[in-house]
Amino acid sequence: DVKVTQSSRYLVKRTGEKVFLECVQDMDHENMFWYRQDPGLGLRLIYFSYDVKMKEKGDIPEGYSVSREKKERFSLILESASTNQTSMYLCASSDGGSTENEQFFGPGTRLTVL
């Protein structure tokens, strides 16, 4: 089974803090994704990556950056957290060699910025 893990289930940070969210997958997937999910807005793609050291902006990249130094790990960085970044953050991965490209999600990190 594909396993995607995220470093924290719940996180509380203060406005202006730098926040790191870590995601690790154990299935050698090329593709990794960061989403945020808010009531009424659905899943929104922040950034994604097709390969090590490669990143592409999703639909809402402002206020975020990412890092992918190793294939299995994809980090989301909030350079200066703001209250409007309070949300559920979901990491996903998929097999780049697969034509179907199903995405598998981690358990999520619920971030609260005070």
Partner 1 sequence: QKEVEQNSGPLSVPEGAIASLNCTYSDRVSQSFFWYRQYSGKSPELIMSIYSNGDKEDGRFTAQLNKASQYVSLLIRDSQPSDSATYLCAVRVRGNNRLAFGKGNQVVVIP
DSSP H/E element including 70: strand 64-70
Strand 64-70 relative to strand 4-6, pairing:
unpaired
Do 92 and 106 form a contact (C-beta atoms < 8 A)?
Answer: yes
Closest distance between partner 1 and the C-beta of residue 74, in Å? 14
Contact positions with partner 1 (CB under 8 A) in 20-79:
31, 33, 40-43, 45, 48, 50, 58
CB of 16 to partner 1, least distance (A): 28
- Contacts with partner 1 by CB under 8 A lie at 31, 33, 40-43, 45, 48, 50, 58, 90, 94, 96, 99-108
